[in-house]
Structure 1
Amino acid sequence: MPSPRPVSFDRVNAAALAALPAILARLFPAGKREGAEFVIGNLNGDPGRSLRVSYRKGCWRDFSADIGGADPVSLVAAKERVSQIEAARLLGRMLGVDHG
């Protein structure tokens, strides 16, 4: 069985940043824009303002759980409770990006 192709986090994150508003709306339908940030209650998508994502950089922080990350891949990994590699593959498929 062939091994899976390596994942290009840079390529997936760049594509995700370009489509970040649409990705966030899909992941967190109850969220909203507040200036340069997307806000939602938490990684479960509950209403509120504790989870914040920068539209410009893709970095995020869930202040209620005291966790965060530097890019869209890490956000998807935390939300979906999967590894960074699996999150990059999920995002790559969602965006139609060849992640390898």
Structure 2
Amino acid sequence: MNNINFSVVKNSLRGHEYTILRQLLPYGKKEGNEYVALNPTRNDRNLGSFRINTTTWKWSDFATNDRGGDIISLYAYIKEINQLTAAKELLAITRRVS
């Protein structure tokens, strides 16, 4: 299973994004249409610079300029894995909770 359709994965994630987000970033909080959290990939001590838009799922760490365009890239970034592996893991997660 080296090839994966990322659109299919994203579609299967619909409705599970917040569950995944809260598991990845448990100390975050919702602010409007953004989820603000500490960045677990660095020594982040203050909420504010790491934000995920919960409408578009684009995310950015304004302190490091790291950013991505969807929940798959966010998962890959936080887990420090490639996006193919992230997509496979997320697909497995959604299959278990569906």
Using the size of structure 2 for normalisation, the TM-score is: 0.84
Percentage of pairs with the same residue: 30
Residue 10 (structure 1) aligns with: 7
Contact 1:61–1:67 (Cα < 8 Å) also in 2: yes
1: CA distance, partners of 2:32 / 2:89: 28
Residue 30 (structure 2) aligns with: 33
Size of the alignment, in residue pairs? 94
2: CA distance, partners of 1:41 / 1:64: 11
Q: Which runs of 5+ in 2 are unaligned?
A: none
Using the size of structure 1 for normalisation, the TM-score is: 0.83
If asked which structure has higher relative contact order (CA below 8 Å, sep 6+), I would say 1
Residue 54 (structure 1) aligns with: 53
Give CA-to-partner distance per residue, 1:38-63, whole Å, 9 cap, x none. Answer: 11121448551211111111111111
Distance 1:43 1:68, change over 3 A: farther
Q: Which runs of 5+ in 1 are unaligned?
A: none
1: CA distance, partners of 2:91 / 2:48: 28
**Structure 1 residue 5: Cα displacement:** 4.8
Residue 30 of structure 2: SS of its match in structure 1?
strand
2: CA distance, partners of 1:65 / 1:16: 27
2: CA distance, partners of 1:17 / 1:57: 12
Residue 83 (structure 2) aligns with: 84
Contact 1:58–1:70 (Cα < 8 Å) also in 2: yes
Residue 67 (structure 1) aligns with: 66
Q: CA RMSD in A?
A: 1.9
1: CA distance, partners of 2:30 / 2:12: 20
